[in-house]
Amino acid sequence: MSTEKLVVTASPHIRSQDSVPRIMWHVVASLVPVVLAAAWFFGVSALLQIATAVIAAVLTERLTGKGGAIADGSATITGLLLGLTLPAGFPLWMTALGTAFAIIFGKQVWGGLGQNVFNPALVGRAFLQAAFPVAITTWPSPGGGFFALHGDLFAIPLTHPLPNAVTSATPLGLLKFEGKGTAISNLVIGSTGGSLGETAALVILAGGVYLAWRGYLNWRVPVSILATVMALSAIIHFIDATKPGALFMIFSGGLMLGAVYMATDMVTSPITNLGKWVFGVGIGILVVVIRVWGGLPEGVMYAILFMNALTPFINRATQPRVFGTRLVSVT
Amino acid sequence: MMSFATGFRHGVHPPEEKGLTSHVPIRRMPYPDELVLPLRQHAGKPAKVCVKTGDHVERGDVLGEADGFMSVPIHASAAGTVVDVGWWPHPDGSMAESVRIKVDRFAPQVARPRMVPHWEGLTTQQVVKAVQDAGVVGLGGAAFPTHVKLAPPKDHHVHTLIINGAECEPYLTSDHRTMVEYPGRVHFGIRVMMRAMGVLKCVIGVEKNKPDAIEALRRTVPDDLDVAILPLTVKYPQGAEKMLIHAVTGVEVPSGKLPVTVGVVVQNVGSVSAIAEVFETGLPLIERIVTVSGHGLRRPANLIVPVGTKLRDLLAYCDGVTAEAAEVIIGGPMMGQALANLDAPVIKGTTGVVVLEKGETREAAVYPCIHCGRCLDACPVFLNPSLLGDYARTQQYEQMVDLHLSDCMLCGSCAYVCPANIPLSQLFQASKLALRRAQPAVA
C-alpha cells in the first residue's frame, strides 16, 4: 500500500456471491436435462429446433442490445424456453423469426433486461401462434429413431411446410376435440405428442426444485399455480366426470414448463411474496378456465401473459407493511 | 414483556469474519508521534476550539468546548503541543476543523489531578453534566451524545434500558472483547445509567455467536439490579436500534419516532463502559477500543487506541497491510466508510478499521434490476428497495418519501444481496441528502 491506490466504494463494501449472470446461467444449466429429455423423445429434430432458437436469440441480442448483454445469459434463456414451446417439426425459419421477434418486441423495445412487462419467450410464441397457426399445432409423434427429421424443418423461408405423415394430437387436444383420455403414466414420463418441453414434466419439476433450493426461483409461483389448477380441476372433475382430473391437468400441456420456468421469470412476475401468490393463483384459474371452457385446448401461454400484464397492479396492491406503521396503540 | 422472539424477520447473513480477532485480548497501542482531533466527532454541533497553536496540553485537557446541549467537548488524548488548528481529512471522507497535537515523547501521560465524581451523591442533572463534560458519545458508530439519552423528554416514561451488545457488523469484535474482559465495567455503567434515569429494568442483548460474552456478563450481574442478558439470533442488522428493541420488547418503534416513545432507551456496550470510566477514574473519553481487522491486514487486533491516532499509524502498528490489500474501511463493511486518505484519524465513533483484499470488495459490473425481490426479503424495515432504487435513479424523491424512505437506516442489507450489484444504499443516502436540502423538514 505504499502507493496507496485504495479502492473507495460506497457501503456496503461486501456483497453476496450471487449475480445476475450467475442466476441466469443456473437457469440455463437446469434446463439442460429438459433439452436432453426433448432429444430423447423427438431426436435430433428437437436439438435442431432448440439450437436454432438459442442462436437466433443470441444473435438478435447482439445486434440490438448493448455490448456485453449476451453474457448475462437472459437471451439464451429466452431462446431455450421458446424452442421448448415449439413442436419438433416446426420449420426452422419460423423458429428463428419468432425468436428474433421475442427478443426485439418482448424485451429490447421495452428497454432491455429488467424492463419488459411480458415474458419474452411467450411473446415470441404468441407471435408464432398468430402467424403460423397450422404449423405450430402440427405435432409429430415422439419416437421414430434419433436421426429421424420430423415435419418439414428445412422448409424454405416464407413457404408453407409440407404436411407430415406421422403426427398426433396433444393429450389436451385429444381430450377437447375427440373426448379421448391419455394415461397419466404416459404424461408423467412424457411419451406423448406435444411441444418439445411439454412432455417431460418430471424433468422440468426436478429442474424447478433445484433452482428453488439454490434460491434462484421463488417456489411460491409454481406451487400456487399447480395447487390452484389441481384444486379447481378436482372440483370440476367431481361435478362433471367428463372434464379432466387434477393429475391430468398438471402433467399435460405446457403447464409444468410454464409454471416452473415462465411464470417464475423474475422480471415479469410480481416482486412481493404476497403478489407471487396472487399471480400464481390467477394463472391457475385462467389455465383451468381456458382449458375447460375456452375454445383452445391449451391456455398456459395466455394465462401467463395476461397475469404479466397485471403484475404492476399486483405489485402496487401488495406492498409490504413498513416496520413501525402497524396501527396499534403503544403503551 | 420479554418476547419469545429473539430476532426479527428479514435481514441478511454476511460472513461474520469475527474469528480473526474475537479471541485476541485487548491491548494498548503506544502513543503515536502526532494526534489529530477533529472538533466534529459526534452527532450534533461541533465543539468550539479553545486552544491555539503552540499551547501545551496535558492528557485529558479540553481542546474544544461543547457548543450547546446537543454537543460535547473534545479532549486531548495525550500530552503534547498544539502544532496546528486547521482543516484535516476526516474519517467520514470530508475535511474537518481539527486540532493537531505533537505528542510529548517524554511526558508520563498521566492526566492532571482531577475530581472523580462520586456518582451516588449526584442528581440526574449532575450526572448528565458529568457525562457531557467527559465528552461521552455513543461508541457504536453513530456517536450520538450519550448525555442527551440520559435526559429523555419529560413527557415520556422510560421503563427499560436496553444495552446493545449485538455487534452484528462483520469483523468487529471491540464490543465483544469489552463484554468478555470488562463485564464489571459494563454493569457499573448500567448501574449509573439506571440510577440517573430512574429505570428499574435493563436488558443486554448479545448475539448468540458470543457465548463467552454472554457467560461473562451473566456471571457478573449485580444481585441488586434487574439486569437480564438476552441471547439474540445471529443476523444482520440485529444491532440496529429498532431491531434490537423489537427483539427485546416485541414492540415496533413507530415510524419516524424515537425509541423513548415506546419507553426504552438503547445504549451501546462501549458507551456504558465509557460512562463507567468517567465515574471510576474521572477521565474523559480520550481513548476507545478499536477492532483492526480484515484479511488485508497482517496482524488483526483489538486495541485501546488514543482518539486522534492516524489510520496510517494504526495500520503500521498492526504490521501493515498485505500486498493484496485493496480497501480500507472505517467501521464495519456493511455500513462503514471507505477511505482513500490514511491521514484521517480514529475518532470517538470509530468501531473498527477493516482492510479488505482484492476480490473481497464489491467492484463488479452493475446490471439492471431484474425484480428478483431479494432486497424486499432482506430489508429489516420492510421497504421496497427495488422500487425505491428506480425512483432514486430518476430522482423522483417525493415518491420515495411516500414509500417511507425516511425509515431506511442505510443498513446496506438490500445492496448486499442485490445480484445486479445496484448500489442501493448509496442511492438512498443521496436521495435523503437531496430531500434534506430541498425541504429541511422531510427525511
**Residue-level pLDDT at A128:** 94
Q: How much is the pLDDT for A172?
A: 78
Q: In the predicted model, what is the mean pLDDT of residues B289-308?
A: 96
Beta partners for residue B64, in sequence order: B49, B74
CA A188 to each of CA A39, A171, A212, A242, A291: distance values in angstroms, whole numbers, following the listed order: 16, 12, 21, 21, 19
Mean per-residue pLDDT of chain B: 92
CA angle B336-A9-B286, nearest 5°?
30
Distance CA B195, CA B120 (A): 8
- Mutate which of B249, B328, B357, B371 to disrupt the A interface (most A C-beta within 10 Å)? B371
Q: Kindly provide the ipTM of the predicted complex, given to two decimals.
A: 0.87
SS (H, E, C) chain A: CCCCCCCCCCCCCCCCCCCHHHHHHHHHHHHHHHHHHHHHHHCHHHHHHHHHHHHHHHHHHHHHCCCCHHHHCHHHHHHHHHHHCCCCCCCHHHHHHHHHHHHHHHCHHHCCCCCCCCCHHHHHHHHHHHHCCCHHHCCECCCCCCCCCCCCCCCCCCCCCCCCCCECCCHHHHHHHHCCCCCHHHHHHCCCCCCHHHCCHHHHHHHHHHHHHHCCCCCHHHHHHHHHHHHHHHHHHHHCCCCCCHHHHHHCCCHHHHHHHHCCCCCCCCCCHHHHHHHHHHHHHHHHHHHHHCCCCCCHHHHHHHHHHHHHHHHHHCCCCCCCCCCCCCC
Give start-end residues of each CATH 3.40.50.11540 domain in chain B: 18-22+121-281
What is B18-22+121-281's CATH topology? Rossmann fold (3.40.50)
Cα of B368 to nearest chain A Cα, Å: 6
Residue B198's alpha-carbon distances to A166, A320, B194, in angstroms, are 89, 38, 6
What pLDDT, on a 0 to 100 scale, did the predictor assign at position B3?
42
Greater pLDDT, A136 or B369? B369
User: Which of B8, B298, B334, B362 to mutate: most A Cβ within 10 Å?
Assistant: B362
CA angle B176, B180, B185 (to 5 degrees): 100
CATH code at A20-315: 1.10.3430
Tell if the CB–CB gap between A11 and B337 is shorter than 8 Å: yes
Residue B244 has pLDDT above 90, yes or no: yes
Q: Would you state the pLDDT for residue A1?
A: 45
- What are φ and ψ of residue B2, in 5° steps? -65, 125
CB contacts of B314 in chain A (<8 Å) are none
What's residue A330's pLDDT?
A: 45
**Residues from chain A contacting residue B329 (CB–CB below 8 Å):** 13
Cβ of B363 under 8 Å from any chain A Cβ? yes
Q: What is the pLDDT of residue A194?
A: 77
Number of H helices, E strands in chain B: 13, 17
pLDDT-derived band at B1 (thresholds 50, 70, 90) equals very low
What average pLDDT does the segment B130-151 reach? 90
- A4, A7, A13, A314, best to mutate vs chain B, most B CBs in 10 Å: A13
Chain B residues close to A323, C-beta within 8 Å: 242, 252, 255, 380-382, 407
State the sign of the Cα–Cα–Cα–Cα dihedral B147, B150, B156, B160: positive
Residues 3-32 of B with CB under 8 A from A: 12, 14-15
Under an 8 A CB cutoff, do B373 and A218 touch?
yes
Is the CB of residue B342 less than 8 Å away from at least one CB of chain A?
Answer: yes
Mean pLDDT of B109-133: 85
Residues of B with Cβ-Cβ distance to A68 under 8 angstroms: 365
Domain spans of chain A?
20-315
HSE-CB at A257 with a 13 A cutoff on CA atoms is 32
Query: Is the predicted pLDDT of residue B201 greater than 90, yes or no?
Result: yes
The answer to whether B399 contacts chain A (CB < 8 Å) is no
Q: How far apart are CA A262 and CA A252, in angstroms?
A: 16
- Residues within 8 A of A (CB atoms), B 142-171 only: 170
Can you list the residues of chain A whose pLDDT is less than 70? 1-4, 67-69, 143-145, 151, 158-169, 189-191, 327-331
C-alpha distances in Å from residue A52, one per residue of A39, B350, B412: 14, 59, 43
Q: Which three cell numbers stand for residue B337?
A: 466508510
- Radius of gyration over every alpha carbon of chain B, rounded to an integer in angstroms: 21
Q: What is the pLDDT of residues B154-184, one digit of tens each?
A: 888 899 999 999 999 999 999 999 999 999 9
